């Protein structure tokens, strides 16, 4: 008998549709894995009943001969940044602890409409600010992966979608939602040997997603195969009038148009991504990726993205600036925590509530954002960063005149032990050096697993496409997936 929790999105959906097993059996199997994995701390709350109810409906719809949705019978994990009706939504913060949305986010509603069910709300970095899942108020997520040196050091699952990446790698769910502001889907996917795609900015509605930096925030799927990501992205994407930056375009049939034959395609290799300090094994995996894409028929061309080194500092002005504005809403009045010291007035209550409710990294970013937007500094910092952002976008526009898709590493290193970088914010930010440029330019980008390093830890390769060209990204990702033959899974210790 197949182990149901080893199956991915497509295998589950098709198995339910053919009657090989029932959706309820699948939900029960994943619920059991979730319940047995509390050592990973991947979930903030679990919702086994939600998963079972959706599964029952999928089974009943099949019995009644009704057409099945794209995700019919597939239980998934939901990053706890998506508002879910009647289920606590915290953004992994104390200030939103106990917050129970009275509405459903557009993306999660679309997934339920497609027949998916929810296993629980996944842990993350607080307000999606972090690269190691160590800023959550509800504790660190532990990667299911361990180094092959016999040591049991707890490793980072990446961030901010660290609960999502850990849960998928550990077979607690076949797929999960993620959100990506500067790399929060791609970096955790790379750290845990799974795939994940951030679509073009505007493909997935931001309505009902707790806001971090609105000009960068994009939702996307995380799963163990490129095809599963394509299926789930189709279910998540689509125009939403409730999001003013939502793309009013039809959703392509990405999953059924997948094609790993890259003959006639050009793959760009950005020379500025060969940076000092990048791990030798990462550079080697990049060379493998180049060879695989050539083998798939693509022509490889060198390209230049001259402003690459300015992307990360520009990001750390733009994202905190937007965060300081977005997070002004947490005031102890309308929802969430209220800290009202004896005799305090309104202003004192704001300041006490926000001091008690935000973690250190969130405070750090709000303060930086407040500073760069303040009178006298706005032009020197914020306006300059937005001009550099224009130049970064122009770099990509010029590059895509010479190539169809760009191949680069996802991260400069493999996963690192928890605690290694928490005292050095800058070292932590450098994790996103390869992922932030595509975010600033609003481009679709994905990470696919490409192998293990000498420590037995997964590495990922990143594909960046032109605006609206998720298909090109997915196709090149599929070509790599087929040649990398990545089948490694973490050994169960939890």
Partner 1 sequence: MSVTREQVAKIAALARINVDEHELDRMVPEFNNLLAWVEQLGDVDTSSVEPMTAVIEQKLRLRADVVDADPLTGGGRRDAILANAPAAEHGFFGVPKVIE
What token pair was written down for 10? Answer: 């497509």
Which of the residues 22, 136, 143, 160 is marked catalytic? 160
Q: According to the binding rule CB under 8 A, does residue 247 interact with partner 1?
A: yes
Give the one residue of 150, 248, 277, 280 binding partner 1; rule: CB under 8 A. Answer: 248
Decide the pairing of beta strands 195-198 and 218-223.
antiparallel
Residue 77 DSSP SS3 = strand
Residue 440 DSSP SS3 = helix
The window from 54-62, 174-182, 377-385, 475-483 that contacts partner 1 (CB under 8 A) reads 377-385
Q: According to the binding rule CB under 8 A, does residue 380 interact with partner 1?
A: yes
Catalytic residue status for 184: yes
- The Cα–Cα gap between 362 and 354 comes to 10
The strand pairing partners of 87, in sequence order, are 84
Q: According to the binding rule CB under 8 A, does residue 329 interact with partner 1?
A: no
Residue 132: CB minimum distance to partner 1, A: 17
Nearer to partner 1 by Cβ, of 311 and 480: the residue is: 311
**Pattern of binders to partner 1 over 214-233, x per CB under 8 A?**
-xx-----------------
Q: Report the half-sphere exposure of 29 (CA within 13 A, side-chain side).
A: 20
Residue 351: CB minimum distance to partner 1, A: 4
Q: According to the binding rule CB under 8 A, does residue 245 interact with partner 1?
A: yes
Residue 472: CB minimum distance to partner 1, A: 17
Nearer to partner 1 by Cβ, of 335 and 494: the residue is: 335
Decide the pairing of beta strands 75-79 and 117-122.
parallel
The window from 284-292, 349-357, 399-407, 454-462 that contacts partner 1 (CB under 8 A) reads 349-357
Catalytic residue status for 421: no
- The Cα–Cα gap between 256 and 200 comes to 19
- The Cα–Cα gap between 17 and 150 comes to 43
The window from 34-42, 124-132, 278-286, 381-389 that contacts partner 1 (CB under 8 A) reads 381-389
User: By CB neighbour count within 10 A (0-12 exposed, 13-18 middle, 19+ buried), where does 98 fall?
Assistant: exposed
Q: What are phi and psi of 177, to 5 degrees?
A: -80, 150
Of residues 437-456, those binding partner 1 (CB under 8 A): 441-442
Q: Tokens 């959906």 sit at which residue?
A: 13
Sequence-ordered alpha helix ranges (H) in 202-279: 226-236
84 secondary structure, DSSP code: B
- The Cα–Cα gap between 273 and 268 comes to 11
Catalytic residue status for 79: yes
Residues known to be catalytic: 79, 160, 184
* Contacts to partner 1 by CB under 8 A: 99-100, 102-103, 200-202, 215-216, 241-242, 244-245, 247-248, 307, 309-310, 313-314, 316-317, 324, 328, 331-338, 340, 344-347, 349-352, 354-355, 358, 363-364, 366-368, 370-371, 374, 380-381, 383-391, 393, 425-426, 441-442, 467
């Amino acid at each position: 008998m197949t182990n149901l929790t080893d199956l991915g999105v497509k295998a589950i959906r098709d198995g339910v549709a053919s009657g090989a097993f029932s959706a309820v059996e699948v939900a029960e199997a994943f619920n059991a894995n979730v319940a047995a994995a509390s050592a990973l701390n991947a979930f903030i709350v679990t919702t086994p009943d939600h998963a079972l109810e959706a599964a029952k409906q999928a089974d009943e719809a099949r019995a009644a001969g009704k057409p099945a949705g794209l995700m019919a019978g597939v239980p998934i994990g939901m990053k706890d940044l998506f508002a879910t009706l009647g289920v606590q939504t915290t953004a992994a913060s104390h200030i939103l602890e106990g917050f129970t949305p009275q509405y459903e986010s557009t993306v999660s509603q679309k997934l339920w409409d497609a027949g998916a069910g929810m296993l629980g709300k996944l842990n993350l970095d607080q307000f999606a600010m972090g690269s190691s899942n160590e800023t959550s108020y509800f504790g660190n997520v532990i990667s299911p992966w361990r180094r092959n040196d016999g040591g049991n050091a707890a490793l980072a699952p990446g961030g901010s979608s660290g609960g999502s990446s850990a849960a998928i790698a550990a077979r607690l769910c076949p797929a999960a939602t993620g959100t990506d502001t500067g790399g929060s889907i791609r970096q955790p996917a790379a750290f845990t040997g799974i795939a994940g795609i951030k679509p073009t900015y505007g493909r997935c509605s931001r309505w009902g997603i707790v806001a971090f930096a609105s000009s960068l925030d994009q939702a996307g799927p995380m799963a163990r195969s490129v095809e599963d990501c394509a299926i789930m992205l189709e279910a998540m994407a689509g125009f939403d009038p409730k999001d003013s930056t939502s793309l009013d375009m039809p959703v392509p049939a990405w999953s059924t148009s997948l094609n790993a034959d890259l003959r006639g395609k050009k793959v760009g290799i950005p020379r500025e991504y060969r940076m000092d300090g990048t791990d030798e094994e990462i550079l080697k995996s990049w060379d493998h990726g180049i060879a695989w894409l050539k083998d798939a028929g693509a022509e490889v061309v060198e390209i230049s993205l001259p402003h690459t080194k300015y992307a990360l500092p520009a990001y750390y002005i733009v994202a905190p600036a937007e965060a300081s504005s977005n997070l002004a809403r947490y005031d102890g009045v309308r929802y969430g925590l209220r800290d009202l010291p004896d005799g305090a007035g309104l202003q004192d209550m704001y300041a006490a509530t926000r001091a008690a409710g935000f973690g250190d990294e969130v405070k750090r970013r709000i303060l930086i954002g407040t500073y760069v937007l303040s009178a006298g500094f706005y032009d020197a910092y914020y306006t300059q960063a937005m001009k550099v952002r224009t130049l970064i976008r122009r770099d990509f526009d010029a590059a895509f005149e010479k190539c169809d898709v760009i191949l680069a590493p996802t991260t400069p290193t493999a996963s690192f032990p928890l605690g290694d970088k928490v005292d050095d914010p800058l070292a932590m930010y450098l994790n996103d050096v390869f992922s932030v440029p595509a975010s600033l330019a609003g481009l679709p980008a994905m990470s696919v697993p490409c192998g293990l390093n000498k420590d037995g830890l997964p590495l990922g390769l990143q594909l960046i496409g032109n605006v609206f060209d998720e298909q090109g990204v997915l196709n090149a990702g599929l070509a790599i997936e087929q040649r990398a033959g990545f089948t490694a899974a973490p050994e169960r210790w939890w």
